[in-house]
């Protein structure tokens, strides 16, 4: 460490990450956008390591593997994982070249296998195209807008959307309670855009003569007078994607996957994204002690695209 301190002092006190940026700009002649992407990927790892009380300069192979596994846990596509890993290899290659470290911890780190099963990631413009493809003059048009918006803004599984209850909505506080796998519940912040779409839909929903036993379900079929099935949501998404002219293989899960990807790319904390997606085993009572709802909401407001735009 003495060698590193002497080196930093001789270089005007620049941190390794700052020197790496200069290296990318001057020696690699990369564009500013590409440089920002590389630095952003390294910063994600730095935040992950700092949470564990570690040091970016003495990271272990097991820590790197855990970081990549966490990316997979929150639904980040293998291609995005591979890009992040490429950034980390470049960074640690620079650290070794510049004398900060003696061995490169990424040498034995395997790239994620490229699979074909995970859905595409939609851009924010493509998501808007799908929502705007809804015919709001149709009887259930506003309901369908609300469905797509809630899928994306809250990162829900299709089963969670189908089972969402009115009694689980806290729209004034902009939170919803979601029942996920294993009947475990979690609180998820909901964007103001999604709240507006739901409130507009409820004006139509109130006119439906809902069958007994289904009164608390949020999304109702006007014709069947009961809650929607997973298949109905799948068909709806396919139809809207086709009408929008989006040339990607899109399913309801694509919106959940895009939710996680956009949050990560926006700089959100990986642990927060995990909590949002319900990948941690948090029961109804534990959620109040394991999640700081104020911090949770601040992360979503700061990093989710729906909260960074004005409508």
Catalytic site residues? 157, 181, 253, 256, 279, 288
Place of tokens 């990560």: 264
Distance between start and end Cα atoms, the chain: 51
- Evaluate whether 284 touches 291 at the Cβ level (below 8 Å): no
How far apart (Å, rounded) are the C-alpha atoms in residues 206 and 222? 10
Cα-based distances in Å from 278 to 56, 78, 288: 28, 20, 14
Give one DSSP letter per residue of 190-255, joined into a string. --HHHHHHHHHHHHHHTTS-PPTT-TTBSSEETTTTEEPPHHHHHHHHHHHHHHHT--S---HHHH
Helix, strand, coil shares, percent, the chain, to 5: 60, 5, 35
Q: Are 263 and 152 in contact (CB under 8 A)?
A: no
* Residue 120 contacts residue 79 (beta carbons within 8 Å): no
């Amino acid at each position: 460490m003495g060698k590193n301190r002497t080196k930093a002092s001789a270089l005007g006190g620049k941190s390794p990450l700052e020197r790496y940026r200069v290296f990318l700009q001057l020696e690699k002649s990369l564009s500013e956008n590409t440089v920002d992407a590389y630095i952003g990927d390294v910063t994600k790892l730095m935040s992950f390591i700092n949470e564990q009380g570690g040091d970016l300069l003495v990271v272990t192979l097991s820590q790197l593997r855990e970081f990549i596994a966490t990316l997979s846990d929150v639904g980040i596509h293998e291609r995005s994982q591979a890009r992040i890993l490429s950034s980390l290899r470049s960074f640690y290659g620079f650290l070794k070249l510049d004398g900060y470290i003696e061995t490169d911890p990424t040498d034995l780190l395997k790239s994620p296998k490229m699979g074909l099963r995970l859905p595409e990631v939609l851009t924010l413009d493509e998501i808007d195209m799908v929502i705007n493809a809804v015919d709001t003059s149709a009887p259930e048009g506003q309901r369908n807008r609300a469905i797509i918006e809630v899928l994306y803004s809250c990162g829900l599984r299709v089963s969670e959307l189908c089972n969402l209850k009115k009694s689980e909505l806290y729209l004034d506080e902009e939170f919803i309670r979601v029942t996920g796998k294993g009947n475990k519940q979690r609180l998820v912040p909901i964007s103001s855009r999604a709240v507006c779409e739901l409130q507009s839909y409820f004006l139509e929903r109130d006119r439906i003569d809902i069958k007994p036993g289904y009164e608390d379900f949020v999304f109702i079929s006007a014709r069947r007078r009961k809650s929607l099935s997973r298949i109905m949501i799948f068909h709806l998404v396919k139809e809207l994607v086709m009408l929008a002219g989006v040339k990607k293989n899109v399913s309801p899960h694509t919106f959940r996957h895009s939710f996680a990807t956009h949050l990560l790319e926006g700089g959100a904390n990986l642990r927060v994204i995990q909590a949002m997606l319900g990948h941690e085993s948090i029961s109804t009572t534990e959620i109040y002690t394991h999640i700081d709802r104020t911090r949770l909401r601040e992360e979503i407001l700061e990093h989710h695209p729906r909260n960074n735009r004005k409508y």
